[in-house]
């Protein structure tokens, strides 16, 4: 889709590229980037679906967009997406993908109808110290100095922010502001993360500033994004003849590198323990979108904390091997070599607690339900917990299994999972608290369960890139 001064060009299809019928496409990784790439190749690039192959290490598509539906273990989502109006490629894509739930509707129609009927809004955006209000919680509380820091960063060049951490360019006043608290709990920033990344986020999400205090700008899919986006997109691709090859771990890509071009000549992989691969010619296109955010995730359960898995990591290893061949392929270790500073936790908590009754009534009152209603919780220095209370269970199976009296599901992200294992070993968490979940000591003292007598807690460790 191409926007010029109006919508004249937005809905016109591109011309068929010359020679596209002779080309094939190999997409490494089966996450949203590859699925979207394949769909755009078919819809806008006029490539036949049967010329496209997706190579995925796991046994299913979707990558970071997941939703584990194993009732005896749990309903696990490693991440929930905060979506919004300006996701131009995403909405352009999903206007063309049929909904699996509503006949004749697109995924975009379905998504828009859900959010139109039940807009997101947070009544309690920030709390601190066990549920107390943050002072002036509707205000950004940026004083003159903090405003100057913010504007200086906003108008700086990329080069001025490169290789710097946020706390090297922003002062204490900025870190004390509600703006920073809003921003960091929305986007998972820490003071030691990349200044350039914060600058780019400020540009990308400037229009969120007016709704930072109530999240009224956010939009959510009805279920987790695996069900709401990945399944319909995968079906559309399969219907168009795209080949999905699961259980293929790509280990390297050879290139013929010249001054004016780089031509991939072979993809190497391991399948069922055996080495394999494919030789490539000038008509073979290769797209490598191997993500990284959920690489080496580990799941905990009722009795076991999630473990930190530092490697081997196929996505990072592949990128490092490719990057060693030419500087143009980037510097993976800027992002991947800081595990202690970039790891984090997420958890879903399912509860039948009567004290969640208010949410149950709320759910029953609404004909359309979905995920939403965020709160952000902070307790003590360096500890933030993002909580998402959903009117809608994150999976359709759960909804079907539990019926109208279903449980409340709470999704939580702890920004920095720094010393969790040590905290668990040191007995910081009260008996019965799930060690994979990062509750503050004050909320779990004396062996009391915090607020979920019949809860199920699941946790994961994921890595968030930082420079």
**What is the rounded CA–CA span in Å between residue 327 and residue 270?**
26
Q: Which is nearer to ligand FAD, 65 or 76 (CB)?
A: 65
Q: Which is nearer to ligand FAD, 30 or 305 (CB)?
A: 30
Q: Choose which of 20, 48, 293, 397 interacts with ligand FAD (CB under 6 A).
A: 293
Q: Residue 65, interface with ligand FAD (CB under 6 A)?
A: yes
Q: Choose which of 318, 408, 428, 452 interacts with ligand FAD (CB under 6 A).
A: 318
Specify whether the CB–CB gap between 435 and 305 falls below 8 A. yes
Burial of 305 (0-12, 13-18, 19+ CB in 10 A): buried
Q: Residue 29, interface with ligand FAD (CB under 6 A)?
A: yes
Q: Choose which of 20, 24, 33, 465 interacts with ligand FAD (CB under 6 A).
A: 33
Q: Residue 233, interface with ligand FAD (CB under 6 A)?
A: no
Q: Choose which of 28, 181, 237, 322 interacts with ligand FAD (CB under 6 A).
A: 28
Q: Which is nearer to ligand FAD, 32 or 52 (CB)?
A: 32
Question: Which one from 101, 160, 191, 201 is the annotated catalytic residue?
Answer: 201
Q: CB neighbours (10 Å) of residue 99?
A: 18
In the complex, minimum distance from the CB of residue 252 to ligand FAD, in angstroms, rounded to a whole number: 9
**What is the rounded CA–CA span in Å between residue 58 and residue 25?**
20
Which regions of 179-261 does DSSP assign to beta strands (E)? 243-246, 248-257
Q: Angle at Cα 346 formed by Cα 318 and Cα 422, nearest 5°?
A: 90
Which span sits near ligand FAD by CB under 6 A: 56-64, 138-146, 302-310, 353-361? 56-64
Using the Cα atoms of residue 452, residue 453, residue 455 and residue 459 in order, give the sign of their dihedral: positive
Please report, as residue ranges, which positions from 164 to 203 form the binding site for ligand FAD (by CB under 6 A): none
In the complex, minimum distance from the CB of residue 190 to ligand FAD, in angstroms, rounded to a whole number: 15
Q: Residue 320, interface with ligand FAD (CB under 6 A)?
A: no
Distance of alpha carbon 202 from the chain centroid: 18
Please report, as residue ranges, which positions from 247 to 286 form the binding site for ligand FAD (by CB under 6 A): 248-250
Specify whether the CB–CB gap between 118 and 367 falls below 8 A. no
**What is the rounded CA–CA span in Å between residue 313 and residue 307?**
15
**What is the rounded CA–CA span in Å between residue 264 and residue 254?**
6
Give the phi and the psi of residue 11 in degrees, each rounded to 5. Answer: -110, 5
Q: CB neighbours (10 Å) of residue 436?
A: 27
82 in catalytic set = yes
In the complex, minimum distance from the CB of residue 251 to ligand FAD, in angstroms, rounded to a whole number: 7
Q: Choose which of 20, 24, 46, 58 interacts with ligand FAD (CB under 6 A).
A: 58
In the complex, minimum distance from the CB of residue 326 to ligand FAD, in angstroms, rounded to a whole number: 18
Q: Residue 67, interface with ligand FAD (CB under 6 A)?
A: no
Which span sits near ligand FAD by CB under 6 A: 53-61, 195-203, 233-241, 274-282? 53-61
Characterize the bridge pairing of strands 74-76 and 68-70: antiparallel
Helix or strand or coil: residue 57? coil
Q: Which is nearer to ligand FAD, 55 or 146 (CB)?
A: 55
Question: Which one from 57, 82, 110, 227 is the annotated catalytic residue?
Answer: 82
Helix or strand or coil: residue 222? coil
Q: Which is nearer to ligand FAD, 249 or 421 (CB)?
A: 249
Q: Which is nearer to ligand FAD, 119 or 314 (CB)?
A: 314
Which span sits near ligand FAD by CB under 6 A: 22-30, 112-120, 394-402, 435-443? 22-30
Q: Residue 39, interface with ligand FAD (CB under 6 A)?
A: no
Q: Choose which of 57, 118, 373, 423 interacts with ligand FAD (CB under 6 A).
A: 57
**What is the rounded CA–CA span in Å between residue 192 and residue 343?**
13
**What is the rounded CA–CA span in Å between residue 392 and residue 255?**
48
Site string for ligand FAD, 334-373 (x = CB under 6 A): ------------x---------------------------
**What is the rounded CA–CA span in Å between residue 269 and residue 357?**
51
Rg of the chain in Å (alpha carbons): 23
Give whole-number Cα distances, 115 to 83, 220, 358, 390, in Å: 11, 7, 21, 14
Number of residues that make up the chain: 467
Q: Residue 79, interface with ligand FAD (CB under 6 A)?
A: yes
Q: Which is nearer to ligand FAD, 28 or 42 (CB)?
A: 28
**What is the rounded CA–CA span in Å between residue 412 and residue 346?**
6
Q: Choose which of 78, 199, 345, 391 interacts with ligand FAD (CB under 6 A).
A: 78
**What is the rounded CA–CA span in Å between residue 459 and residue 436?**
5
Q: Residue 291, interface with ligand FAD (CB under 6 A)?
A: yes
Q: Choose which of 27, 41, 170, 294 interacts with ligand FAD (CB under 6 A).
A: 294
**What is the rounded CA–CA span in Å between residue 41 and residue 18?**
14
Q: Choose which of 1, 23, 27, 31 interacts with ligand FAD (CB under 6 A).
A: 31
Q: Choose which of 25, 27, 56, 347 interacts with ligand FAD (CB under 6 A).
A: 56
Give the phi and the psi of residue 25 in degrees, each rounded to 5. Answer: -125, 135
Tokens of 267: 């993809």
For the annotated catalytic residues, the residue numbers are 82, 201
The residues binding ligand FAD (CB under 6 A) are 28-34, 55-58, 63-65, 78-79, 81-82, 248-250, 289-291, 293-294, 314-315, 318, 346, 462
């Amino acid at each position: 889709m191409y926007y010029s001064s109006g919508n004249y060009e937005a809905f016109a299809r591109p011309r068929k590229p010359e020679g596209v019928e002779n080309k094939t496409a190999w997409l490494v990784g089966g996450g949203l980037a590859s699925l979207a790439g394949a769909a755009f190749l078919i819809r806008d690039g006029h490539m036949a679906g049967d010329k496209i192959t997706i190579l995925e290490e796991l046994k299913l598509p979707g990558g970071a967009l997941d939703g584990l539906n194993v009732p005896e273990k749990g309903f696990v989502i490693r991440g929930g997406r905060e979506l919004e109006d300006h996701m131009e490629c995403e909405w352009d894509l999903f206007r063309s993908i049929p909904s699996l739930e509503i006949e004749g509707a697109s995924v975009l129609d379905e998504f828009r109808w859900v959010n139109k009927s039940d807009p997101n809004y947070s009544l309690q955006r920030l709390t601190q110290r066990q549920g107390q209000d943050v002072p002036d919680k509707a205000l950004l509380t940026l004083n003159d100095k903090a405003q100057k820091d913010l504007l200086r960063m906003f108008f700086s060049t990329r080069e001025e922010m490169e290789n710097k951490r946020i706390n090297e360019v922003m002062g204490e006043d900025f870190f004390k502001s509600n703006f920073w608290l809003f921003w960091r709990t929305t986007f998972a920033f820490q003071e030691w993360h990349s200044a350039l990344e914060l600058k780019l986020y400020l540009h990308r999400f400037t229009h969120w500033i007016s709704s930072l205090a109530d999240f009224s700008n956010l939009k959510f899919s009805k279920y987790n994004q695996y069900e709401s986006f990945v399944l319909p997109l995968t079906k559309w691709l399969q219907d168009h003849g795209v080949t999905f090859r699961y259980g293929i771990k790509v280990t390297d890509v050879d290139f013929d590198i010249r001054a004016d071009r780089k031509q991939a000549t072979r993809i190497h992989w391991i399948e069922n323990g055996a080495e394999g691969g494919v030789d490539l010619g000038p008509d073979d296109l290769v797209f490598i979108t191997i993500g990284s955010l959920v690489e080496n995730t580990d799941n905990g359960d009722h009795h076991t904390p999630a473990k930190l898995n530092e490697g081997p990591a196929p996505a990072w290893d592949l990128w490092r091997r490719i990057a060693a061949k030419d500087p143009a392929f980037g510097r993976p270790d800027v992002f991947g070599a800081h595990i202690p500073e970039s790891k984090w936790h997420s958890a879903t908590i399912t509860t039948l607690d009567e004290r969640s009754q208010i949410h149950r009534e709320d759910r029953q009152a609404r004909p359309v339900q979905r995920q939403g209603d965020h709160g952000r919780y902070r307790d003590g220095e360096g500890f933030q917990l993002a909580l998402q209370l959903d009117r809608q269970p994150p999976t359709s199976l759960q909804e079907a299994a539990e019926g109208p009296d279903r449980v409340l599901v709470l999704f939580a992200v702890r920004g920095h999972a720094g010393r969790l294992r040590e905290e668990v070993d040191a007995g910081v968490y009260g008996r019965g608290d799930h060690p994979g979940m990062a509750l503050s000591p004050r909320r779990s003292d004396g062996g009391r369960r915090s607020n979920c007598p019949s809860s199920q807690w699941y946790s994961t460790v994921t890595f968030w890139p930082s420079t």
